[in-house]
Amino acid sequence: MEQTQPNSPSLFQHALRSGLLLGAVSVGLTFLLYVVDYSLLANWKLLLLIIAISLGALIYFGLDYRKSGTGFLTYGKAFQHGFITLAISGLMGIIFNIVLYTVIDPELPGRLTEVALENTEAMMRKFGAPEDQIETALEDARVSTQASYTVAGMLKSYLWVLIFYAIIAAITSAFVKKNEPETF
């Protein structure tokens, strides 16, 4: 039976605070990258580093929640905590991106699209793709990339990202959970 300590936050309260903190760091990092060099926002290696850091933070927040209670946490509760944390953080990121791309710098989506297309072309050439395949792929990528920077595109992508968040929460929950010892 899972119990909490008298002054410990509820699962939702802790996940909300964790999500807001992770979201604030994400928004701050996005804005910093934008100010330093907007093309960094289209760098997939940097994106992988940010995802790795976020995974570490998610595990840390889950362990912190586990410690704030009895020291035990079921897999289901760990999953709920992780998913809520990611969903809130992601929502903050989407809202910031909508403001960034529509209010702060409406020209940014076009510039990021060009950077993404240049990166795609360079990668395809590196792998020796035929010229006709490169042209077709670039045109398809241009249409889909431009659509992803619209408000509707970002909101739609958030729904797909929720599925990704569920998978990430399922994986990180294995590291966070700790079952109470069974007594006979």
Residue 37 lies in a domain: yes
Residue 121 lies in a domain: yes
- Provide the pLDDT for residue 183: 77
- Provide the pLDDT for residue 1: 42
CB-based contacts of 157: which residues, under 8 Å, 6+ apart? 94, 148
- Provide the pLDDT for residue 6: 58
Contact present, 177 and 78 (Cβ < 8 Å): yes
pLDDT over 70 (residue 2): no
Quote the number of domains for the chain: 1
Structural domain for 108, as ranges: 11-176
DSSP designation for 180: P
Residue 6 lies in a domain: no
pLDDT over 60 (residue 3): no
CA distance 18 to 89: 8
Residue 2 lies in a domain: no
- Kindly report the length of the chain: 184
Q: What is the pTM of this model?
A: 0.88
Contact present, 31 and 103 (Cβ < 8 Å): no
Residue 61 lies in a domain: yes
Model pLDDT for residues 66-93, shown as the tens digit of each residue: 999 989 999 999 999 999 999 999 999 9
pLDDT over 70 (residue 5): no
Model pLDDT for residues 120-156, shown as the tens digit of each residue: 899 999 999 999 999 999 999 899 998 999 999 999 9
Residue 181 lies in a domain: no
- Pick 141 or 20 by higher pLDDT: 20
pLDDT over 50 (residue 180): yes
What residues form DSSP beta bridges with 101?
none
pLDDT over 60 (residue 31): yes
- pLDDT more than 90, % of the chain: 78
Mean pLDDT of the chain: 93
Residue 27 lies in a domain: yes
pLDDT over 90 (residue 9): no
- Provide the pLDDT for residue 138: 92
Residue 100 lies in a domain: yes
